[in-house]
Structure 1
Amino acid sequence: MLDKQQGARLANLWDDAKAAAMSEAERLLYRSNLLGSDKRITNYGGGNTSAKVLEKDPLTGETIEVLWVKGSGGDVGTIKMDGFATLYMDKLRALRGIYRGVDFEDEMVGYLPHCTFNLNPRAASIDTPLHAYVPKPHVDHMHPDAIIAIAASKNSKELTRKIFGDEIGWLPWKRPGYELGLWLEKFCLEHPKARGVVLESHGLFTWGDTAKEAYETTIEIINRAIAWFEAENTAPAFGGEARPVLGPAERAAIAKRLMPVIRGLISTDDKKVGHFDDSKAVLDFVTSTNLEPLAALGTSCPDHFLRTKIRPLVIDFDPAQPDVEKTLAGLPEAIAAYRADYAAYYERCKRSDSPAMRDPNAVVYLVPGVGMITFAKDKATARISGEFYVNAINVMRGASGVSTYVGLPEQEAFDIEYWLLEEAKLQRMPKPKSLAGRIALVTGGAGGIGKATANRLMREGACVVLADIDEAALEAAQNELAARYGKDFVRSVAMNVTSEAAVETGFGDALLAFGGLDILVSNAGLASSAAIEDTTLALWNKNIDILATGYFLVSREAFRVFRAQKAGGNVVFVASKNGLAASPGASAYCTAKAAEIHLARCLALEGASAQIRVNVVNPDAVLRGSKIWTGEWKEQRAAAYKMDVDDLEAHYRDRSMLKLSVFPEDIAEAIYFLASDMSAKSTGNIVNVDAGNAQSFTR
């Protein structure tokens, strides 16, 4: 048994007591989750595991051999039992009889559904033959950085032999598919004592007679590779440092400036979301002597390549003499040049049946001395793409330190990127939601209307930044929404909207989190009630500060971002019926709300030429879930109407024309309408959500 090692080595996490109570299929799940829990073993969505299990055939009642293998598109670290495809091994073996050769191997994928065991709906992946034909019960296919560094070296075959002897074999590059499955079978039969094989430019296959043996072999082989690199790779990484590393605050400040501009330039067709990484591995690479030549080679492992494109874009920036304005001015030309280069790559490599060229923009942007920015269709994909490129950096560090790093040949890279099977998988993906790729910031985000709005926008695929002065409520709201939609889709910033510095800081944090902004929902609020003679200057100023000045400050900051992106924008003010219809005993509140509405009209005029839309939602009497109505306001309004506070909701409902109560979700629905493309031709408008109030009719 392996020692439970710490530090740079992978720990053996296998627990005999846990595993003993499991079925063979459950041990496969256990093994998979253990392997996927460490990104040094495999990246998100990468790798595969399998087990050949004896099962009772539901048709014949006979005991038969069934292949359990990770299904298409799954992730071994988070997979559940329903994430595995199950196939009859006798039918998989029978496929040999209809195989027409390597030129027709893609058609074999179409036969896999005919091998399905027990009507399992989980689609089998193209890696299925690789596992089926290895004549061992338990097989792991992982993408460890330490192994891919060997596989991506110019002399990878010799290095494999030197490090592992006869225990681990080597096979030349071959695109995953049916033919590679036959290669693996042939290798195993010819080398019965081998424990695994390194696939050139790809990864590691290992196997065992038990789930535990397979797991421990995988861990052991990776640890041996890590130890070998530690001993042999002693030269300065990537040729040594050639540029300084800027400080954390300066790195973040520069990323905040660059990200919205890059996003605007690459989001002409589909909106993209960004991710920033300035981890040590990234900084070692972006300050190195060999940054440009290594980056130009692209990645090696197919999984890395599919996530990060043919190569990254290295931004022209000198950290020794930082000039952000010069870099910003050069971005349009640099991005246009990348697109042209990508189009030329497509034209050089395309085949007669290749799918149409996809988005030609880079995914990975390397900023010397600052870090790495990645952009993708959503935050999770952008983050994962960054993680994949960190894997690629680690591979380049290892390979270039002991040999010469070799990227995937251009034609092979193209044939994977534009593989018809990969295209078919993309076509099967669900249609994007209406706000996919959009980024929203909601002030007052921890309150009733704010949280309901965030929920509604996130339901349509938006990333949301919650901004609020109440940090405890903010944390609770973020946790609630993260549990519902995923941590990648929501962030929070503590923000006092009356503070210019706090607003600027909050927006900057939002830009660093997601790379830009599309929607501002200005909703922070309060409510006060007092006769004019009892209205203190402090109360008057508080209303004006939050409801007028606060709305001005956040709008100004949003406009700055929108103009930097040059891709339009959308502002929705949450005002009030009281901004149109005067109410006794609330002059400060009503006046401030009227100021909001007029500010929105002014901003609609200013923003129209830049496709920045500004609209208003006017709620009335939103009692349930509203933080405003949990304080003195409720008692004050009840006193003004000479009634008990418990009768207030019924009073507002009965005074409405439609005799209906208004809830936070009703306001959120109107905000979503104005924030979405459904209202793409509306600006300067007011939508009343008040169940009907003749006094607040706008016309």
Structure 2
Amino acid sequence: MAEASADALTKLIEVSRTLGSDRSLVLHGGGNSSAKVSAESPTGHSVDALYVKSSGSDMRDADRTSFVLLDLATLRTALPYSGLGPEQFRLMQQRARLDSGAASPSVEALVHAALPHKFVLHSHADAIVTLTNTPDGAALVKQVLGERFVVCEYAMPGPALGSAIWSLWNSLPHQAQQDVLGIVVLNHGLFTFCDDAQQSLENHLHAVAVAQSYIEQQLGQPLEPIALRSPEPSKAEAVELAQLRRELSERAGHPVVLTSRRAEGKDLGDLQQGPITPDHVNYVGYRPLDLAREQLPQWGDEYLPQSGEPQDATLPILSRLPRVIVGQSTISCVGRTRKESLRSVDIVEHQLASAHASSALGGYRPASTEHVRDLEFWPPQLNKLRATDNALPLSGRVALVTGAASGIGKACAAELLASGATVVGWDISEGVSQTFDSPEWIGMRVDVTDAEAQAAAVYSIVAQCGGLDILVVAAGVFPTAQHLTELDPGMWQRTMSINVDSVVTTFGLVQPFLALSPSLGRVCVVASKNFAAPGPGAAAYSSSKAALTQLSRVAALEWAQDGIRVNMVHPDAVFDTALWTPELLAKRADHYGMTVDEYKTRNLLHTEVRSADVGRLVRAMADDTFIATTGAQVPIDGGNERVI
């Protein structure tokens, strides 16, 4: 314990990041690591302590905030395990924290406390669990890794696994303890340990490399995730996906996101036997829903908590749902957000490869359903899932924003993202995919005047997200001013094509999916003050916005029977867009004999209208603020005398 605490933590962060950067070892918050140090207790005394990864943090991005400092003696009072209940376990870990404001520690903190070594590293390495998930996994591990790696039977993470490791370690003769480099827990993963951080990491990576080499020799190919490609569904297939998402959302009591992948020619039978480790249950469930054999209402009858079990009424959304659904040619993954559903896709791709490899090595034998159930519905595991609940108002909703790469469209997309929605942005700009850096953002380069491109993009949205809940029409053009006597017919047609005709196409394509929205479809159309107060030289623009307003009013009338709300906002003088350059602003202000600031606030309220203001209004139209409103036309112009 002589090494300074800060130095040990720095080394722990380094090796944790290395481990976490390899997706064949650690996926999405999995794995954990620790370092034993000397620390100061709240009373000022020096104590033996343990830095351990916090629950759910990602080793790939590990930093000082990713680790919790615990009193080692307090942890070890729970070893060996003697019937420590969930609440007792929680209180014990809480008492052990030397910083009461720190995050919750990993549930495997007791394993790290049970081992005497300074540094302990743990992963769910694909190659290791592949070996263990075979009919005689223990013998295969010993054959492949040798005597310096000992085998522990599966035990549920927490007190049970901590006790199992404690008992196993203390049963080893002293000389064996000196020789052992790691412990393999069947159906679970690998622990390596050493008083030197780098050596512990090298032992870990070497064991995994040996396992991978053996598997490659036996299979004739490397153990790699099975890449599943995005489908290109037909309209009928897209409608089926949207119907499925609606059923899932109704069962959850909250909208969910459904990400699908094409799976023709893939043997999916192994998935029915369960995840390669129970630790993946929150992302892939105990088994998929196979639509060829059963329907959603029957899924989980033999597995989910029955009426009367104490946790039944408080199960998080994901615990009530299959997280993987196998269709005729697709695999679909369920999440509360797109980020969650994509994590499930990742884990499924690794799980398929590992399960197939185990089958080739003699048979796929993962942990029993009882073990998986015990972990999924263990209160600390449920609390871990609840801790990641997204309480944002539009969480789980899918929005499409046209013209989303700049200006008002971009502001609308930003507001929807901030409110928790998964947002798909269409724009003709090549940079639309990089408009936002968020897993909830999908940027598509779409020319809205191309009906076929629109159709393909809509069906792609359903394949990637499961459906559509919100449409924001913000794409449009404001052509150069032309008086009627000099009006260019080509400019008139182009303005109408973009501002009106393209929206007719969009409306026709999205209506079936908005009608299947689990939260009732919502449409907000960004029109213009010009629909009511046209300006000289703006015949094409004013006429197009008037036509767009009438089109949207008709949609409100026709779609109300499906619960779809269609509302309009009418901005004016929004000057923080690419259209309004400093030179143009100065020219227009001079035309009116005003300063630029006076020109920008020439409304009754003498306020500047910004894109973000329009975005906030559109977001309110998309959430439940206007839940009982359709066909409304709301100006956002600071007060315009001609409109009022």
Same fold (TM over 0.5): yes
1:127 deviation in Å? 0.7
1:65 deviation in Å? 2.5
**Quick one: which amino acid aligns to residue 625 of structure 2?**
M
- Counterpart mapping for 1:402-413 below 5 A: 402-413=361-372
For structure 2, the residue ranges without an aligned partner over 5 or more in a row are none
The equivalent of 1:12 in structure 2 is: none
The equivalent of 2:168 in structure 1 is: 187
Quick one: distance in 1 between partners of 2:235 and 2:206? Answer: 43
Change (3 A) 1:578 1:431: same
The equivalent of 1:618 in structure 2 is: 570
**CA shift digits 1:578-637 (9 cap, x unpaired):** 10123222121111110011001000111111111111000011112x123249986886
The equivalent of 1:366 in structure 2 is: 326
Quick one: distance in 2 between partners of 1:475 and 1:391? Answer: 27
Q: Equivalent of 1:664, from 611, 616, 623?
A: 611
Quick one: distance in 1 between partners of 2:214 and 2:236? Answer: 38
1:533 deviation in Å? 0.8
**Quick one: which amino acid aligns to residue 464 of structure 2?**
A
Tell me if structure 1 keeps the 8 A contact 2:133–2:187: yes
The equivalent of 1:143 in structure 2 is: 124
Change (3 A) 1:21 1:410: closer
- Counterpart mapping for 1:178-257 below 5 A: 178-189=159-170, 190=172, 191-192=176-177, 193-233=179-219, 256=238
1:420 deviation in Å? 1.7
Q: In terms of mean alpha carbon deviation, does 99-108 or 666-675 score higher? A: 99-108
SS of the aligned residue for 1:683 comes to coil
For structure 1, the residue ranges without an aligned partner over 5 or more in a row are 1-19, 238-244, 317-333
Q: In terms of mean alpha carbon deviation, does 74-83 or 103-112 score higher? A: 103-112
SS of the aligned residue for 2:312 comes to coil
Q: Equivalent of 1:122, from 97, 103, 106?
A: 103
1:391 deviation in Å? 2.4
Aligned-residue RMSD, C-alpha: 3.1
Confirm whether residue 595 of structure 1 aligns to residue 544 of structure 2.
no
- Counterpart mapping for 1:315-354 below 5 A: 315-316=291-292, 337-346=295-304, 352-354=309-311
Tell me if structure 1 keeps the 8 A contact 2:52–2:68: yes
**CA shift digits 1:305-345 (9 cap, x unpaired):** 221112112344xxxxxxxxxxxxxxxxx77x233231342
Q: TM-score, normalised by structure 2?
A: 0.90
The equivalent of 2:634 in structure 1 is: 687
Quick one: distance in 1 between partners of 2:514 and 2:612? Answer: 27
Quick one: distance in 2 between partners of 1:384 and 1:246? Answer: 13
Q: In terms of mean alpha carbon deviation, does 558-567 or 249-258 score higher? A: 249-258
1:352 deviation in Å? 4.0
Q: Equivalent of 1:470, from 424, 429, 439?
A: 429
Q: Equivalent of 1:301, from 274, 277, 281?
A: 277
SS of the aligned residue for 1:221 comes to helix
Change (3 A) 1:512 1:650: farther
More helix by share: 1
Tell me if structure 2 keeps the 8 A contact 1:445–1:468: yes
Quick one: distance in 2 between partners of 1:667 and 1:217? Answer: 57
1:198 deviation in Å? 1.5
The equivalent of 1:628 in structure 2 is: 579
The equivalent of 1:16 in structure 2 is: none
Quick one: distance in 1 between partners of 2:96 and 2:191? Answer: 23
Tell me if structure 2 keeps the 8 A contact 1:106–1:177: no
Quick one: distance in 2 between partners of 1:441 and 1:431? Answer: 20
Confirm whether residue 260 of structure 1 aligns to residue 242 of structure 2.
yes
**Quick one: which amino acid aligns to residue 207 of structure 1?**
F
Q: In terms of mean alpha carbon deviation, does 491-500 or 426-435 score higher? A: 426-435
Q: What is the count of residue pairs matched by the alignment?
A: 629
**Quick one: which amino acid aligns to residue 618 of structure 2?**
I
Change (3 A) 1:414 1:567: same
**Quick one: which amino acid aligns to residue 205 of structure 2?**
I
Change (3 A) 1:119 1:563: closer
SS of the aligned residue for 2:56 comes to coil
- Counterpart mapping for 1:277-676 below 5 A: 277-278=261-262, 283=263, 287-288=265-266, 291-292=268-269, 294-316=270-292, 337-346=295-304, 352-356=309-313, 359=317, 360-367=320-327, 370-429=329-388, 432-472=391-431, 474-475=432-433, 478=435, 481-482=436-437, 486=438, 488-528=439-479, 529-563=481-515, 568-624=520-576, 626-630=577-581, 642-643=591-592, 647=595, 650-651=598-599, 653-654=601-602, 656-676=603-623
Tell me if structure 1 keeps the 8 A contact 2:84–2:159: no
Tell me if structure 1 keeps the 8 A contact 2:284–2:324: yes
Change (3 A) 1:204 1:104: same
Quick one: distance in 1 between partners of 2:59 and 2:81? Answer: 32
Tell me if structure 1 keeps the 8 A contact 2:404–2:426: yes
SS of the aligned residue for 2:363 comes to coil
Quick one: distance in 2 between partners of 1:590 and 1:409? Answer: 67
Tell me if structure 2 keeps the 8 A contact 1:109–1:126: no
Change (3 A) 1:274 1:633: farther
Q: TM-score, normalised by structure 1?
A: 0.83
1:673 deviation in Å? 0.9
Change (3 A) 1:634 1:261: farther
Tell me if structure 2 keeps the 8 A contact 1:527–1:633: no
SS of the aligned residue for 2:271 comes to helix
**Quick one: which amino acid aligns to residue 364 of structure 1?**
V
**Quick one: which amino acid aligns to residue 199 of structure 2?**
E
**CA shift digits 1:144-180 (9 cap, x unpaired):** 1111112222211111222123111111121112232
1:58 deviation in Å? 6.5
Change (3 A) 1:465 1:352: closer
1:113 deviation in Å? 1.8
Q: Equivalent of 1:164, from 127, 134, 145?
A: 145
Tell me if structure 2 keeps the 8 A contact 1:543–1:588: yes
**Quick one: which amino acid aligns to residue 265 of structure 1?**
E
Q: In terms of mean alpha carbon deviation, does 512-521 or 79-88 score higher? A: 512-521
The equivalent of 1:47 in structure 2 is: 31
Q: Equivalent of 1:131, from 112, 115, 138?
A: 112
Tell me if structure 2 keeps the 8 A contact 1:106–1:178: no
The equivalent of 2:156 in structure 1 is: 175
Change (3 A) 1:114 1:22: closer
Quick one: distance in 2 between partners of 1:163 and 1:354? Answer: 42
SS of the aligned residue for 2:349 comes to helix
Confirm whether residue 27 of structure 1 aligns to residue 5 of structure 2.
no
Tell me if structure 2 keeps the 8 A contact 1:47–1:76: yes
SS of the aligned residue for 1:23 comes to helix
Percent identical among aligned pairs is 26
Quick one: distance in 2 between partners of 1:347 and 1:179? Answer: 21
The equivalent of 2:61 in structure 1 is: 78
Change (3 A) 1:126 1:180: same
**CA shift digits 1:98-141 (9 cap, x unpaired):** x7713636522311122222555122121110101111111111
The equivalent of 1:113 in structure 2 is: 94
Change (3 A) 1:562 1:352: closer
